[in-house]
Chains A and B, each alone.
Chain A
């Protein structure tokens, strides 16, 4: 069945068809519609879930952690300030190895108050141990919610899917909602090996001395490595089942190229238009859309870099005191492989300023000569 829905509603439908059993969420613009829709699903008995209308995001994540520890599929959604307030509990979810799934609508951080998009909110949670998926369109938001549960429940880590404020969250597109039977087959009921259960008297998360803490962290890293494979294989299976295949990186017209453009989120759609235009003019350029940021797909990036002599990264984010975050991560992935090609890092569109085709073309043109660490595009 096809439905015309916003990115936000695609997230709500994703939670519904994934049969999230406990939803704990707190409203924040531009995520609000996700939780309002879930409230109406629950009120109309279309979704068999407990919906806890918590008093803060910190409590939202804590409640998801509790529900997940008790063996339920837990869901939440937030944005910017709300995600930042969850920070402590984001670590908790990952370190407790709980496959909570959440949607984060990418909104720039205040002050000043703002509601428009950039990626600094989610990228600031880089080191919390969450998988991060950057979605391009509503269908992908819906599809990724289902996949995220499957992947996360397999490897025992939480997952965040990210969608751009307004550009994606509030824009309506047709989304195919698959039959529930098939979704249930793809994503069976969550049944963890360890859970809060009176017949098993485990204590979770108690004081751990240096003798073992270190190994527990190693296991999270191993789970992330496993995640790389799992994302690919679940994405492939999803394609077989529902006709849409997903992976770590979407390679758009990356055959026979000398220049690689790297983007993420919904602006990648604009990037694709630019690539089409430039390819028509005979330029040898392709686009790598980074769908997954954590775990970072190093191998795939290296492979892509092998065949080009220039990489251009557009970051709608910044690590203050350094540079664009995708740019940094990509360069560091290439370093040990002696890949000696210029990588250009642009900062663009912070706080929701439009990134137009003209902007992208301009950046591509500007990427020439000795690369600088940071190029601010369109600064007033």
Chain B
């Protein structure tokens, strides 16, 4: 649909109280892969005034376009996945007790004793296990499997949930200068950054913003979004693990940290799904150096982002990813530095403003 577009804000996007409040709403919302409605609604409400066109496609991606006013524009697709890892109820065992399976990559060892919320009503529940009073020393040595765990809503909750409902961690966002702790920072950080980019859309590009679904289960939303947009350049903005605790550095040098907190946005050269286009990597690094923005190269590792789907769309799209480093990703509580978030937004914004068609020649 077309709308009465407001002129995009001229100033460089920044992170302030308003952004932290929006991030809190985004992180506290539930959008387990396949049912992203709650986050999608927030996104639609936030971006509507700043776009030339907004649609929700057949899979539930939000596809928003901001057409730049200058001539000689590059069509840039930026994707941020809206979905998060979580759970799906699989069997009603009565009294509000449900067996469940995980959706996306979750380590079952991190589940025991966690408070969760179930369904669109956010019914409170808990992933229970036998308490320490009753377990033997032998039992405590073994990690429980998902099949041995249950989501317990209590009898009062049983009528409010059904098989097929999603559940996620109940963690509420806490802003603890200089950090933020929340669930689903992977990838509500990308979502909020993409919202901010639309609000401050540079006029030298056509910004094709895809808030994608089902990334955590295999980059599915981005695949059809990229087909639809048919962009000249693709970029995924996401969150990536930081495994940089001092404890891992004690005896021998930590050689496998992926990224480090406080080292700025993480630029990808290769992951399990994409080999980044080197021209785009150079462009990002040059931007960071010119603007004095710290950055790090994400250690080439397995894993994947929406870029993995975008670069293979149609006849091919040079693509890259940039992520905010996140400790404890895909768990009940992950941790970031506000500085890393702000610098990631800054880097992508400035890079876009410097973009010319020559980059592809």
Are A and B subunits of one complex?
Answer: no
Taking beta carbons and an 8 Å cutoff, which residues of B are in contact with A?
A: none
